[in-house]
Amino acid sequence: MSSSSCRFCGSPLHHTFVDLGMSPLCQTHITPEQLNEMEPFYPLHTYVCENCFLVQLQEFVSPQDIFTEYAYFSSYVDALLKNASDYSDLMVERFGFNAQSKVVEIASNDGYLLQYFHKKGIPVLGVEPAVNVSQVAKDKGIPVVNKFFGVQTATELAADGKADLLLGNNVLAHVPDINDFVGGMKIMLKPDGVITMEFPHLMRLMEENQFDTIYHEHFSYLSFMAVNRIFAFHGLTLFDVQEIPIHGGSLRIYARHTDDESKPISDRVTELLEREKTAGFDKLETYSHFTEQVKETKRKLLEFLITAKQKGKSIAGYGAPGKGNTLLNYCGIRTDFLDYTVDRNPYKQGKYTPGTHIPIYSPDKIRETKPDYLLILPWNVKDEVMEQVSYIREWGGQFVVPIPEVKIYA
């Protein structure tokens, strides 16, 4: 993609969705030895295409730079594991997948999802570029191919058998060449096979001010309308859709080959397309209001932090997720506001947040220092976090959730 054209339809990009300034790569955690080195910062400036209404970031960094060594391990999030387990049950129940089927997952991470099909005796294959993460899956006995997915990889893999179920959770937004990616899925799918994809829903992002889910790994921000258009272009038809709570509100889409008429289009597809149209997702002015909402969220969060610090309160963070780094960098929050943050992932412990250099410890640090407030950076799993760290109430500690706006939980 050139720096100024839509990654789907090629139209020139003129219209800003929101500009979050400059930010470092959100999963590039800083080691103590790197603290005095210069970090690369890239624009977080999202545009909306006036032709197909795909909201997108320009590609400043290649996927190889972002995903080849990756710090995100899905198995550390209980909500993701539950979603994966429930999903595997649903797929088997609805489509009857069994030991004769083949389930292929694109961006299979540490095997957190495929393990549930594997346990049911269903043949699986993961496609995952990050060698460090996929090793965990291989240790569970899950076969993984370490490659980026697209037309070329799909052609190679299809020679060994196509997929009855081809799935990708939280990956469709992560690919810069969306045509190559969806084109690859068309090649990899059996004639009567099913594709499912899960991705954060742009409608929920806008309704709930989830601007911190904008970071360099997320190249596209997807409405159902835009995805429907992209899949149709590649000879794939969306025949069903579910709205699910994961990642702050996502869509799970179901696709088939357009000429496979055995799976009729559900009313949910028609209803959601109509709802997005009514909300103005096919009009540029709908997208232009988002910037002011984002600025207001920033002002409210800084107002809370300044007031708390003036009163001598201590504030720690919980989590070092990608979204947290967008929030911290855009709002200019460093150790002047946040003493430290903690993360369950040992891969991040002992490092520092990119750009803002907030130290990351293990969750044990919370009991040690007894902060007055705990700012939950992965707000999409706030209930899980508040349960895990409920003991902060013993000393009167309170939880702070920054999105959609600052909310204090005692």
Provide the whole-model pTM: 0.89
Q: Residue 162, Cα to own-chain centre: how many angstroms?
A: 26
Which pLDDT band holds residue 1 (cuts at 50, 70, 90)? very low
Of 192, 199, 146, give the one whose Cα is nearest residue 168: 199
Secondary structure class of 159 (helix, strand, coil): coil
Determine the pLDDT at residue 64: 63
Determine the pLDDT at residue 77: 67
CA 293 vs CA 200, 205, 359, 377: distances in Å: 19, 11, 30, 19
Phi, psi (5° rounding) for residue 254?
-120, 125
Determine the pLDDT at residue 80: 80
Which pLDDT band holds residue 3 (cuts at 50, 70, 90)? low
Given a contact cutoff of 8 angstroms between Cβ atoms, the answer to whether 374 and 318 are in contact is yes
Q: Is the pLDDT of residue 130 over 50?
A: yes
192-245 residue pLDDT tens: 999 999 999 999 999 999 999 999 889 999 999 999 999 999 999 999 999 998
Residue 56 forms beta bridges with which residues?
47, 220
CB neighbour list of residue 195: distance below 8 Å, 6 or more residues apart: 165, 166, 167, 185, 189, 236, 253, 254, 255, 256
Domains, in order of start, for the chain: 66-287 (3.40.50.150), 303-409 (3.40.50.720)
Given a contact cutoff of 8 angstroms between Cβ atoms, the answer to whether 276 and 225 are in contact is yes
Phi, psi (5° rounding) for residue 124?
-130, 160
CB neighbour list of residue 223: distance below 8 Å, 6 or more residues apart: 53, 55, 201, 202, 203, 276, 281
End-to-end CA distance of the chain: 48
* Eight-state DSSP code of residue 29: P
Determine the pLDDT at residue 2: 41
Q: Residue 18, Cα to own-chain centre: how many angstroms?
A: 18
Which pLDDT band holds residue 299 (cuts at 50, 70, 90)? very high
What H or E segment, with its residue span, contains residue 193? strand 189-200
CB neighbour list of residue 43: distance below 8 Å, 6 or more residues apart: 19, 21, 22, 58, 60
264-292 residue pLDDT tens: 999 999 999 999 999 999 999 999 999 99
**CB-count exposure of residue 53 (10 Å: 0-12, 13-18, 19+):** buried
Which pLDDT band holds residue 247 (cuts at 50, 70, 90)? confident
| Cis status, amide bond into 404, omega within 30 of 0 | yes
Phi, psi (5° rounding) for residue 24?
-80, 170
Average confidence score pLDDT of the chain: 93
Please give the average per-residue pLDDT across 98-124, as a whole number: 96
CB neighbour list of residue 339: distance below 8 Å, 6 or more residues apart: 314, 315, 316, 369, 371
Determine the pLDDT at residue 180: 98
Q: Residue 331, Cα to own-chain centre: how many angstroms?
A: 20
Burial 117-142 (b: 16+ CB within 10 A, else e): bbebebbbbbbbbbeebbebbbeeeb
Given a contact cutoff of 8 angstroms between Cβ atoms, the answer to whether 263 and 239 are in contact is yes
**Calpha distance 141→113 (Å, rounded):** 13
